[in-house]
Amino acid sequence: MSQKKQIPLKEHVAELACPAHGGLIREMADRYGIPESDMLDLSASLNPLGSPFEHPSGSLDLDAVLEKAAKRFGQYPDNRYLEYRTAAVNFLGNGLSVDNIVPGNGSCEIIRLVAEAVLDEGDVVLIPHPTFAEYEQQCKVAGADVRYIRQEDVMDLSDDVLEGAKILFVCNPNNPSGKLRSREDLLKLAERCASKHTLLFLDEAFIELADDPSQSISDVVESNDYLFILRSLTKDFAIPGIRIGFGIASKRVSDALNTARLSWNLGSIPEEVGIAVMSMEGGCDSPYLVQSREAIKKDRAYLIERISKIRKFIPIDTEINYILVDISNSAFDSTELTRRLAAHGVLIRDCSSFPFMGKDFVRIAVRPKEETDRLSRAMGKVVVEKAREDARSDLIDMLESGDVRPQGPNTDCPYYPCHHFPGQDCTFCFCPFYKCEDERTGGKWVDRSSGGKVWSCEDCVIVHKKDVVEQILNELSGEGSMGDKLKKAWTKVLEPLL
């Protein structure tokens, strides 16, 4: 006899895990005891200009928008959302009509709507990896059979594979890689999907912020019932707290989805905010969005330049407002680096939650120069902290093993040769007294290129002299805590030399 279910849910729903996302400002502030206002969020990829209600090029009055919305607080929304859909059509500026627009309460609701409307339990969906986690989540809620394919195989899928799938998800530009596929390739893919009766779900949530928004294929939906396009307003206009977006499809598909979607899925505030931001003169080429794309290119180049200066961090250029950083050769994995930076009030995206990415990558949002400088300073601090902890740990292991004589340069060390000076003894790869702040050693405070000062040991060679190393190690090999032994070594060995 089968065991009675503990809860009245479908088994595949009860076993779901919540997908990871960026933007966890409140959660991280609580965890590390840092005020929310002091957190720097580079984990959510939003328009670095800020919202058009704040930036001069937007020329939008938030108070006026909220006042207009407040007049309808006592009414149910008009579930047709004709004004919102009209604003979306004007924003796109590609000849479509309100009949092609499906209003949505953010991207996730729209993905859920399509999954529920298209998929039966057991239907196959194809998701190129790595990409946005919500495609898998919402398809699994519908009971679909999710199969991952490689991003580089999307254009070369066999007829059999394509025909066997109900939906193929493609994110353009892709999250988290930032790759922007060409309009020509996507038109070919849309045609192939239609011929195999496979829905191409094309996520263009970041397209207005991409280097070349003209790669969109939203203008061809009317002639293809097997093409659905997702647009998000939260990234474009830096308003993630207002959940708004829309889908684009043929009239037949849109009519069905507008019937199937939740009634009144937009309240009066998100509806009015959406109408306002999409009604700016020029649509996708409004002064605000044009300046946004220009700022992204400039700030992205600066971000890449700063990250490149951190040893063994490899930034990967993109065509959008975020970059990937390969840290596979560094002393960190993505989870540790993300955690350490969060403790300093800086949030980046740990990409280990993206399928098949492992712990080798982090994603960092493009932000204005001063915020990138703060990130750079925080990264410098965590690199120093990590090196210091690892060096102390190695030193303690060495002391406990009894092998405490100077060994000469360690050519297996990932930091060899040390950039400070040639020919040094490497017993102390990291000075156990850092940062002593005693200028008698030759160390000194130097100016950072990003502002502020940092203690530099470049002109200090004391702990790399063999006779000094011998004396320090003799003291550190004694009894007592490491802190007490370091104080004793400084007083007994270093002070007389200074």
Phi and psi dihedrals of 447, rounded to 5? Answer: -80, 135
> What's the rounded Cα separation, in Å, for the pair 217 and 115?
21
**Binning pLDDT at 50, 70 and 90, where does residue 405 land?**
very low
> What's the rounded Cα separation, in Å, for the pair 74 and 64?
18
Rounded to two decimals, what is the model's pTM? 0.82
| Partner residues linked to 315 by β-bridges | 325
Structure tokens at 180: 């922007």
Is the pLDDT confidence value at 53 over 60? yes
Is the pLDDT confidence value at 402 over 70? no
Candidates 408, 410, 413, 405; CA nearest to 425 is: 408
Pairing label, strands 322-326, 346-347: unpaired
Q: Which whole number is the average pLDDT over 80-90?
A: 98
Percent of the chain scoring above 70 in pLDDT: 90
Lowest mean pLDDT among 11-15, 213-217, 280-284, 379-383: 11-15
**Binning pLDDT at 50, 70 and 90, where does residue 387 land?**
confident
How many C-beta neighbours within 10 Å does residue 155 have? 13
**Binning pLDDT at 50, 70 and 90, where does residue 346 land?**
very high
**222 contacts 251 by C-beta, under 8 angstroms:** yes
**Residue 282 carries which DSSP code?**
T
CA distances from 127 to 154, 157, 248, 319 (A): 9, 12, 20, 21
> What's the rounded Cα separation, in Å, for the pair 18 and 127?
18
